[in-house]
Chains A and B, each alone.
Chain A
Amino acid sequence: MSKSKDNSDGKAAVISAKAGVKESIIDFLKKAMDKGVFDAVLIPMRVPAGDSFAYVLIKDKTLLKDGVPLSPIMSVQGAKAVSSVTRLGKGKMKIAAVMRPCEIRATIELSKLGQTDLENTTLISMDCPGVLPMSDFLIDPEKNIKIFNEAVQKWDDAIMRPVCQICDKSSMIAGDIHIGTLGAKKDTFFIISNSQKGNDVMDKLDIVLKDSIDSWQAKVKNITEEKHKKREKNLKDLKSKIGGLDNLLDTFSQCINCHNCMKACPICYCRLCYFDSDKVKHPSEDYLQRAEIKGSIRFLPDTTLFQMGRMMHMSLSCVSCGACEDACPMSIPVAQIFSMIADEIQGLFDYVSGRDLDEPVPLVAYKEEELHEVEDAND
């Protein structure tokens, strides 16, 4: 994916969506399949019982009409779906993956970490209003789908997950093609190409990239600034709540070590986590010794150590998607905490996870002139 740094004029087309935005997006995908641009499309679909949405790799075009480009929940992070399809090779099929911006960014991180092969995959993102908390959604799926769709119309994020409400990258273009619905005139949307791969798709579909996206950019800028402000405020509040070891221990005191957060995390790709390995299994005397020193230890011990360890391992690539928080049975605000730390640590390296495939993950990129202040502190 060779990235163009400039997404302005000449990279976009206004598409008519008289039949509705969702329908027109599906129509776009269908045309692309008709012309053989894509052999299959990876897109969320409602499950047969109707109480959830799942990614489905569709080859039969007639199924496309049931695709839901903006599902109301994130049941599985899309990057995990792309990785499942391409981790062991790019395959023979040309695939379009329709996902949220944070899912695309996680996919790009996984690609840097060798967990996807994107050569035959085209990443298509959309402006994202956020998703509903899974537990809220499940109370009444039918009703909540309606509520979600109404909220999308108004672009109102009050009912979305807390981490979505403070997402300042909800229209970030990192994939090949982006569908912009913000700032578009009635019954239209923008289709924005962000790579050579994207340009090639447009060529084959005779879509001429000649339109201005000024109105999209202006609207996105507005929303992003608003969200950013809220983000700074909320994260500051969160920091005062969880700062210091005692607060941190209290925050994670409800953790039951199920590691659902890690399993739902798109970045935690290790097959066997260090914290599930033999390294954390000790003879009874070790546990008893530790207990004797303190009078009592929580069993298992090191619950907070797992959280800190996971944070160290993945926060440089954390895309703040919120999958961890959705999966936590104890309602610990994991995603908000990890997102806060991710901001700070990525900021140290001027790195934004998933922004650009060509940007190496900082910990694998050695720079001699970097972080001298840390060295000096030890002199």
Chain B
Amino acid sequence: MTKALKINKSAEQGVIEFLKALLENGKVKGVFALKKISNDGAVAYSLITKPNELDNAVPFYPLMPVNAGKLLSRFTLKGSSIGPVAAVVKPCELRAFIELVKREQGSLENLFFISSTCGGVYPLKMSVNGTVEKNLTKYWDAVKKGEISADLRSACKGCTEFMPYTADVTFDLIGNNDPDKQCVVFLNTKKGEEFAKGMKGEFLKKELDRKKLDKFKSKREVEKKKLFDEIDAKMNGMDGLIDIFGRCIGCHGCMRVCPICYCKLCEFESPDSEYKPSNYESDLKKRGGVRVPPGTIYYQLGRLTHIGISCVGCGACDDVCPVDIPVSIIFKKVGESVQKMFDYIPGRDVDEDIPLITFEKEEFAEIEE
């Protein structure tokens, strides 16, 4: 039996109280969480050190302005955190961070992870005109009932990895019948138990309700299949790829917001990928015309090859694409098929090696033959 803490407050309030207590009793030096940062309701990840600043925090806000895994990597890139910091992150953000740590782009040391069963987030576009704010009641209603909220990002609608693997504590949000009055925090690790010591609330011995979550998962599975089938129908050979990616403007925003794409200089922005006049000339001997700049699909496929094995399906790429290409669904679909070959779930366990850097002699003999 896992230990759990029942707090007689809503999840949003409960997590803030939890975080305040951590700061106040000196268990952490800082808190990393979503916070309202402007009068017009912009929400951004913030590093908070003073308890009263938590009044504007909205840790479970249904929005992912940036994948937090990317930000935690930036925070710990030059060495692990000098003091304990509590980070409230979504399951996919935590998984992304674990993948980055495997790539030596961050450190887990001194970080305390608070996550939740995640109901998904809205498209970033909806935060611009205040629609997210207006939808909050609807959102929490759906989460309470264990349903998929309408208007979520497609990456979230079809996400079946909504439970964190390695969080120290997990707030159970999905299917929580009484979310306005109480919430339950599962204390998954020793650290989690220790951090929860002395908190207001009732300590229980309890397990996450698998049945409830499995029911939710099956709803997500249905959505996922729909999304994958749609892409399947379109991604038909080279022509299909040209149709899907033809409107790509080459901004590489997908790569820039991708938590896994950590390269300082992408191969596809390097001199190696640059066309010389002679390349254009020789291409034009073979074809009547060349798209300029070239390499639109080459870039997408290249990135797919580079990060597919670690793609956590967070959907950040969709959010940022100025021409609405369903990048995340394509990457998630291809990513999963590669991950399955190696029985690998990105971000499940920091000690699990990335398949592509692990040599196993007895592997894929069928391909050799």
Asked if A149 lies at the interface with its beta carbon under 8 angstroms from chain B, I say no
Bound CA–CA A59/B44 (angstroms):
49
Binds B, one of A45-53, A166-174, A232-240: A45-53
* Chain A residues whose C-beta falls within 8 Å of the C-beta of B296 in the assembled complex: 54
Distance in Å: Cβ of B31 to nearest Cβ of chain A: 9
Q: Is the CB of B288 within 8 A of A295?
A: no
Bound CA–CA A276/B257 (angstroms):
12
Q: Is the CB of A298 within 8 A of B45?
A: yes
* Chain B residues whose C-beta falls within 8 Å of the C-beta of A89 in the assembled complex: 276-277
- In this complex, how many residues of chain A approach chain B with their Cβ under 8 Å: the count is 71
Bound CA–CA A135/B256 (angstroms):
20
* Chain B residues whose C-beta falls within 8 Å of the C-beta of A282 in the assembled complex: 78
Q: Is the CB of A49 within 8 A of B243?
A: yes
* Chain B residues whose C-beta falls within 8 Å of the C-beta of A93 in the assembled complex: 277, 280-281, 284
Within 8 A of A (CB), among B1-44: 29-30, 32, 35, 37-40, 42, 44
Within 8 A of B (CB), among A182-226: none
Q: Is the CB of A329 within 8 A of B293?
A: no
Bound CA–CA A203/B343 (angstroms):
69
Bound CA–CA A256/B34 (angstroms):
13
Within 8 A of B (CB), among A246-274: 249-250, 253-254, 256-260, 263-264, 271-272
Bound CA–CA A58/B280 (angstroms):
10
Bound CA–CA A331/B123 (angstroms):
13
Within 8 A of A (CB), among B253-291: 253, 256-257, 264-265, 269-271, 274-278, 280-281, 284, 287-291
Bound CA–CA A337/B100 (angstroms):
36
Q: Is the CB of B247 within 8 A of A91?
A: no
CB-contact partner of A295 in B48, B239, B319, B322, under 8 A? B48
Closest to A292 in B: B49
Q: Is the CB of B79 within 8 A of A283?
A: yes
Given contacts A51-B247, A258-B257, A260-B253, A253 and B288 within 8 Å (CB-CB): no
Given contacts A253-B44, A258-B253, A298-B45, A134 and B50 within 8 Å (CB-CB): no
Most central of A47, A87, A328 by chain B CB within 10 Å: A47
Given contacts A63-B288, A75-B247, A330 and B281 within 8 Å (CB-CB): no
Given contacts A291-B48, A296-B49, A331-B128, A284 and B81 within 8 Å (CB-CB): yes
Within 8 A of B (CB), among A98-125: none
* Chain B residues whose C-beta falls within 8 Å of the C-beta of A42 in the assembled complex: 292
Within 8 A of A (CB), among B112-143: 124-125, 127-128
Q: Is the CB of B321 within 8 A of A57?
A: no
Most central of B49, B83, B294 by chain A CB within 10 Å: B49
Closest to A259 in B: B256
Closest to B56 in A: A296
Distance in Å: Cβ of A278 to nearest Cβ of chain B: 8
* Chain A residues whose C-beta falls within 8 Å of the C-beta of B251 in the assembled complex: 260, 263-264, 327
Bound CA–CA A91/B74 (angstroms):
42
Given contacts A62-B288, A256-B124, A284-B80, A250 and B40 within 8 Å (CB-CB): yes
- In this complex, how many residues of chain B approach chain A with their Cβ under 8 Å: the count is 77
* Chain A residues whose C-beta falls within 8 Å of the C-beta of B74 in the assembled complex: 281, 299-300
Distance in Å: Cβ of B69 to nearest Cβ of chain A: 13
Q: Is the CB of B322 within 8 A of A329?
A: yes
Given contacts A260-B320, A284-B75, A329-B322, A85 and B277 within 8 Å (CB-CB): yes
Given contacts A93-B281, A281-B78, A329 and B292 within 8 Å (CB-CB): no
Bound CA–CA A193/B218 (angstroms):
67
Asked if A306 lies at the interface with its beta carbon under 8 angstroms from chain B, I say no
Asked if B52 lies at the interface with its beta carbon under 8 angstroms from chain A, I say yes
CB-contact partner of B323 in A52, A285, A331, under 8 A? A52
Distance in Å: Cβ of B59 to nearest Cβ of chain A: 13
**B residues engaging A (CB < 8 A)?**
29-30, 32, 35, 37-40, 42, 44-50, 52-53, 65-66, 71, 74-83, 85, 124-125, 127-128, 239, 242-244, 246-247, 249-253, 256-257, 264-265, 269-271, 274-278, 280-281, 284, 287-294, 296, 319-324
Known A55-B291, A299-B44; further 7 A-B contacts with Cβ < 8 A: A47-B246, A57-B289, A58-B288, A76-B293, A92-B277, A93-B284, A288-B81
13 A-B residue pairings within 8 Å (CB atoms): A48-B243, A48-B246, A57-B289, A58-B288, A76-B250, A76-B293, A88-B276, A90-B277, A92-B277, A258-B253, A263-B256, A291-B47, A330-B125
